[in-house]
Structure 1
């Protein structure tokens, strides 16, 4: 039953959430699954970086990752989420993309939209006892040294055609003229200005009321093509098309307007808030545009009306996570070609690569049955200095440890902690170093205490600290992540090192970090010997 349940959830993920893109709706079917003429990729000897984005998607739609059952008691749902975050921490994850708005509904209390049916079993029904999943997730992620990015689906309003089950307070019932039906579901019509204003308002509500680290959106803009169906927005085009003569250009502009408005508004409300998008993996193919990638699959520009490269060029987004859910050498969309293309088109913004451990569970995805496929992908990314990290779909897939890949994260790729890379266009001013570090041995190990730094030059408060530990024979080197003992997202000025061994000499230094993870100079080095077995 457990295996069947997992396969069912993976199937839903394949169809709805991840758009797995095993065959990126191209005209030619790949030979032998997706492993046609796969080249041998030589593993690279990539050093583990101190700065790397290590993300994972936690999908709530159809309960793919959490909660496992919307009818579970609140305490069991909380425990499941704690177990997920604990597992993420063990494997080295430092950022979670937590889905808070799957279909114009909410996994958070401070919302004008109804509670999600995937949380309580019925849309509009609040958790009992009262519980704010987003606030809980933020608090627990930060305790574990992980960022939390609130993941929104901007335009999907329903997941299926059972419209009668929708709460009367649902926006489709409140503003029925804002939607068209396509593929049996209701979607916001992006061409209506009030729709764009509404979506911005929904997202800014979360920005203002929750201590999230980022706003995250996936690839659902205009819908993926379905044969025999048309988008019913001709009347909207007539009303709002303005000087546009081509409805396709107008649709792209509608999405551009939303992304630009969100980028401007999010940063106006909280300058440090990261705004990122995980688009379909292909912008354009080279056969369509010389600036496109060496691929022959579907694309976001012409088929989804999403000009994802433009958003980077214009600086409207802070990071992009193209969903590159294909293997090395895949005939329609080779992983390596797309990594190289995106790395040439970041325009100074951060590039993280969306990777697909779930594909190891697909019977026909033969390339992903090779236990070296995903590790070699990580190595390939690390050999490109314009790639800043990865985001994996999805959390359950990683927890299932596909072909030992999660073990390789824990024991190899993510063996040592990493700070997220800084975004210097948002903030390039580091904090001042902590003051008066004192290290004292005690019965548990070593107690570290220090004082808050002087105010930074940009008057920004300290957000946290990084504690480094060295042996007495080590060179004090802050660039090597193996020396990071603990990354702390709080202003607490005390830490207990309970892993220090007795009778050994240790050297400690501490740095301060700000909200954007800029790091200060270190404190002076402090040496200490934990108590001997005689208690002295």
Structure 2
């Protein structure tokens, strides 16, 4: 039954389908909900994403130097209560989101922003007295209208690693996620004020730019090492700005003319992370159309595909694409007024073969559904359940199939009871086939659900009366599926 060959179905069996849930400035989550209201919002949000065949949420839990969970290292975020930073909401937002996501077979990647202390319009007086920026004002630099932790200070690097370790130790998350905010986007006519730090710590570098890039490289590598030392299966993923370098600056850069780039302006050498194997996935924010001359989607899709193919020296790095849902029907580039621009970008990702899925920015856009694009995604693009891509380099051991599966038909539904005495599964994949025989396990059309292994039963409502064969496989912490399934045949 495991032919090792993809089904004729155009739907991939493995595909990242994630929604970013941005909490900074309450983009995707309103402030001031009590526990009951928050829980209800989480449940309805996740129910909707599951119905849309999404399999992952990227939940922003550290928008600034704060936290949407009880932390010994950072104050409560103001974005959960709408009150002063440090105000306890009386519940654990991340804990509830994680529990409810796993109940629905959905992964959670905890999104953190490392250096950002304030957003525009905030001052240091707005910070909780226990904020590390108040406790260590010598760690803080002002650039433009915002404050940042100084990335060149060893004490800052150590603090940031500790915040990630706290998160990984206390929560059963699938990944730690960072986006494109490393050194801040450049402001014309202003220099980032870290000259004194460079003079103290940058003697081994030819330029302040090389030193800055090394600061970020070291942080990325050390965070990944810390994560893997604690829980080898927990991934570390980064979603950088969509252009590494323009070809005018580097012959190996992309044929783009982006105004700012990762390497030259944000000091984020994404290629180096791929080379080092210090990330498990990279999700470039290719937030442009296929007609945009300065940064063409198709050119960048091919360029990033080449990066992970050519430079992944230590281990493979999954390529996902950040999609610009927020531009649909609302941009100077007229191509974004075609409701099929973004859905067809996803089809291009699949055709590309190297890209293994996408992350959508952001949740609210799916509800806004401008031009009906989200309906197209649901009805034409994400029509079958997909498993998240595995990361075998973090642990190649295959899980054992479930020990026992029993089934019973009653009152219009079928209840399956799953036993896993070997405890090698993180999740179970439940397949259903018409008739007395197993069908194609490579065809996602046969997947009816994914459940976490702490759920020992599952209820299905088959489409009609008849004989059904159910197959249940195990999935490991690193997403590897058991070679065989445990089956049960049920007359319904």
TM-score with structure 2 length normalisation?
0.93
User: Is 2:28 aligned against 1:65?
Assistant: yes
Q: How many Å apart are 1:361 and its aligned residue?
A: 4.1
Q: Residue 140 of structure 1: which of 73, 85, 100 is its match? A: 100
Q: How many Å apart are 1:144 and its aligned residue?
A: 1.1
Q: Residue 225 of structure 1: which of 175, 186, 199 is its match? A: 186
Q: How many Å apart are 1:433 and its aligned residue?
A: 1.2
Q: Residue 367 of structure 2: which of 399, 411, 416 is its match? A: 399
Q: How many Å apart are 1:412 and its aligned residue?
A: 2.3
Q: Deviations over 1:470-503 (max 9, x none)?
A: 112876110000100111112333222223522x
Q: Residue 205 of structure 2: which of 200, 222, 244 is its match? A: 244
Q: Deviations over 1:241-281 (max 9, x none)?
A: 12213111111111111111111111111111100000010
What residue number does 1:153 align with? 113
Are the structure 2 counterparts of residues 363 and 289 from structure 1 closer, same or farther at C-alpha, using a change threshold of 3 Å?
Answer: closer
SS in 1 for 2:352: coil
What residue number does 2:5 align with? none
Q: How many Å apart are 1:229 and its aligned residue?
A: 1.0
Q: Residue 499 of structure 1: which of 462, 472, 475 is its match? A: 462
Query: What root-mean-square deviation, in Å, do the aligned CA atoms of Structure 1 and Structure 2 show?
Result: 1.7
- Counterparts of 1:510-521 in structure 2, within 5 Å, are 510-521=472-483
SS in 2 for 1:345: helix
SS in 1 for 2:396: coil
User: Where does structure 1 lack aligned partners over 5 or more consecutive residues?
Assistant: 1-44, 456-460, 531-536
What residue number does 1:490 align with? 453
SS in 1 for 2:257: coil
Contact 2:69 2:92 (C-alpha < 8 Å) held by counterparts: yes
Alignment partners' CA distance in 2, 1:104 and 1:333: 32
Q: Residue 375 of structure 1: which of 343, 347, 354 is its match? A: 343
What residue number does 1:303 align with? 265
Q: Deviations over 1:328-384 (max 9, x none)?
A: 021100000000010111122100000011101425242111011011101100001
- Counterparts of 1:237-386 in structure 2, within 5 Å, are 237-297=198-258, 298-346=260-308, 347=312, 348-386=316-354
User: Is 2:386 aligned against 1:423?
Assistant: no
Contact 2:292 2:333 (C-alpha < 8 Å) held by counterparts: no
Are the structure 2 counterparts of residues 257 and 168 from structure 1 closer, same or farther at C-alpha, using a change threshold of 3 Å?
Answer: same
State the 4+ residue runs in structure 1 displaced beyond 6 angstroms.
none
Contact 2:418 2:457 (C-alpha < 8 Å) held by counterparts: yes
SS in 1 for 2:11: coil
Aligned residues: 477
- Counterparts of 1:11-26 in structure 2, within 5 Å, are none
Alignment partners' CA distance in 2, 1:432 and 1:147: 21
Alignment partners' CA distance in 2, 1:394 and 1:427: 31
Range with greater deviation from structure 2 (163-172 or 204-213): 163-172
Are the structure 2 counterparts of residues 345 and 264 from structure 1 closer, same or farther at C-alpha, using a change threshold of 3 Å?
Answer: same
Are the structure 2 counterparts of residues 241 and 453 from structure 1 closer, same or farther at C-alpha, using a change threshold of 3 Å?
Answer: same
Contact 2:438 2:469 (C-alpha < 8 Å) held by counterparts: no
Contact 1:436 1:450 (C-alpha < 8 Å) held by counterparts: yes
Alignment partners' CA distance in 2, 1:363 and 1:217: 26
Contact 2:431 2:449 (C-alpha < 8 Å) held by counterparts: yes
Contact 2:86 2:128 (C-alpha < 8 Å) held by counterparts: no
